[in-house]
Chains A and B, each alone.
Chain A
Amino acid sequence: MDVAKETIARLESAETFGYHADSPSATEPVALSAIALISADRHARAATLLHWLVEHQAEDGSLGVNAEQTTPCWPTSWAIVAWALARSTPVADLKFAKAGQRAVNWLTSVQGELIERTGATGHDTMIPGWPWVRGTHAWAEPTAIALLALRHAGLEDHPRTRQAAALLRDRLLPNGGMNYGNTIVFGQELRPHVQPTGLCMLALPAESLPNDRIHKALAYLAKRLPQTQATASLCYGLLGTAAWNRLPNDSQSWLEVACRRTLDRDPAPYKLALLSLAGRGTACPLLVASRTMVTP
């Protein structure tokens, strides 16, 4: 099975871009689908999605989770990535550049609530990151997506970019991997999950000397990915390994199985876009720049 061909064909003909096959369009799947279509040179279809994002941007630069729900605004980061990746393509448009700048302005104005450290939790609750919902604490995945957005926007040296990377490194589990963003609670280390670990590794910038937790996170992905059937987790896990030049040799065959399962059960544009992007391996446009090769 040609995963790229199957997924892109479906995305090109999709009428809505949601989390499930028949669900309405939502910001995150629209942005991911736009990125997938750009990377497959399907510029006309990509442009319609990029315009959808512009049309659903609020005055303050943010985007809600879908057309009807204007808050919370965590998917704004994905729109920034999509508009940034359109820059050097035939769909480049001043509209997208302006929208992206407004979105970046909004993103850099938002941070999670800081919490006094009590000893109950192991992570550093005082590092500013991004919350799912404004007025709450910062968590792993919204911070990882924000980091990815700032890096794609060319803000590698922005203070918020450095804070985001610091938060993600702090939330990596001592024994490997990442979950939603808690490390140790009441003295016990929590369990890692594939999706947040992959997304975190995708977002983190290169390090000349990757720390022990980076090595362990990559080792966790290497161990878990062969058993991972769920599409989104598999795709994010593979993207995380690709970003650190650790893509498993069997990744394409795993993606084929996941693609068949997705087409059979729930051909959701969200999953199709992820399959398409993960299928591009180290050529995936979500990867900001090649990382320092990690020594096993």
Chain B
Amino acid sequence: MKNWTSQLPNYDTESRRVHSFDRRTLLVATGAAVAGLATLPLIRRANRLTEPAFVARNQRYDGQLEQTIHDGLIATGFDPARIKGKSVLLKPNLVEPTRKCPQMTTHPAVVVAAGEVFRRWGANVIVGEGPGHMRDTEMALIESGMDEALRDAQLPFVDLNYGEVGWVANAGGTSPLPGFHFPKHVIEADLIVSMPKMKTHHWVGYTASMKNLYGVIPGIKYGWPKNVLHYAGIPQSIYDINASLPNTVAVVDGIVGMEGDGPILGSAKSMGVIVVGTNPTAVDATVGRMMGFDPARIEYLSLAANRLGPVDADCIEQRGERWESVAQPFEVIDDPRLQLLLDADLRAT
């Protein structure tokens, strides 16, 4: 008998595969490693002492989102020339969409705007997601409004739950998982744009761009929910997935977020912000402060601190609006574990 956080090293999805590469898996993984190394300087700068995060206020879903995302990427050091002719995968959060709860999932307008930004820079843009709680990806697209929006924008969608997979070694090493079966589209992407919703999360505190990348893990190999990751430790597997993906930037939909019993059942929280950055750790730490959390107490961020990016506010260069000017504490459920994650000083002000 196990509890939720126990670590089982012998999942059948891992144990039999790790010693049995087929040629295609090997080629895909090797190609990804080469591609990752070649473009490593593009994004990953974890050895830098500081990283920027861009905050835009007064944002609306019918507003100038394309301009905001463009400005945010440029302000945080993204070089558009490096992505010309390359493949960009936009990864929204469509964990369990329902029309009744639009605050649960990334708004289609933000995804379409990001798609336009990267297309104007000459990239080949696709949108991909592996919904975590729904086997029927078509249903997730329809319920989230993404289906119609992507068709109108002529942005192709790839189902990350059922596609071909390749094996990538676990570069993080904090969970017992020796590696990950990532979808081919993820492995082959030159850049992954994590596009989460700003939400509370009743297991880990809050979710932003790093936790959102659970959605690149294919359900066909890990289940619905992706329970293998839960057994491996949620914070540890979040860190390991992020450490194992080569090039990731973040565009956070914080126009309407979710507070209370997130990530599924919480209430809408109007913030009017978009947060952008080339370092997801710095972005997520900034998002947490805006929500009234102390990011240093969030376990996956404490693992990522100074490995994948900075969490300390002094090491995050604020671009655009200062986060303090738009901060509004998010309500969390009445659970002592979560109360410990809050920044009492920030909430008092």
Interface residues of A (CB under 8 A from B): 18-20, 23-24, 26, 65, 68-74, 113-116, 118, 120, 131-137, 139, 141-142, 179-180, 185-186, 188, 190-191, 193-196, 228-233, 266
Contacts and interface: CB of A to CB of B under 8 A. Distances in A.
A197 to B, nearest CB: 12
B265 A133 contact: no
B200 to A, nearest CB: 11
B220 A135 contact: no
Contacts of B22: 68
Contacts of B3: 115-116, 118
Interface string B194-226: 000000001000000000000000011111110
Interface in B218-253: 219-225, 227-228, 230-231
A188 B261 contact: yes
B139 A193 contact: yes
11 contacts: A19-B162, A71-B16, A114-B2, A115-B1, A115-B3, A131-B223, A135-B8, A136-B223, A137-B227, A193-B133, A230-B136
B17 interface: yes
Given A133-B221, A134-B12, A191-B100, 15 more contacts: A23-B162, A70-B17, A71-B12, A71-B16, A72-B12, A72-B221, A74-B223, A115-B1, A131-B227, A133-B11, A136-B230, A179-B133, A180-B134, A180-B135, A232-B138
A69 B17 contact: yes
Contacts of B227: 131-133, 136-137, 139
A232 B12 contact: no
Given A118-B3, A136-B231, A186-B261, A191 B98 contact: yes
Contacts of A113: 1-2, 8, 231
A245 to B, nearest CB: 24
Interface residues of B, number: 50
Nearest to B8: A135
Q: Which 7 A-B pairs give the minimum distances between C-beta atoms?
A: A132-B223, A230-B139, A134-B12, A136-B227, A19-B162, A230-B138, A71-B12
Interface of B: 1-4, 8, 10-13, 15-17, 20, 22, 24-25, 96, 98, 100-101, 133-136, 138-139, 142, 159, 162-165, 181, 202, 219-225, 227-228, 230-231, 261, 264-265, 333, 335
A141 B135 contact: yes
Q: Say whether chain A's binding surface is mostly helix, strand, loop, or mixed.
A: loop
A73 B222 CA distance: 11
Given A69-B221, A135-B11, A233 B96 contact: no
A185 B202 contact: yes
A188 B13 CA distance: 32
A191 to B, nearest CB: 6
A74 B96 CA distance: 22
A133 B2 contact: no
Contacts of A135: 8, 10-12, 228, 231
Given A71-B16, A135-B11, A195 B162 contact: no
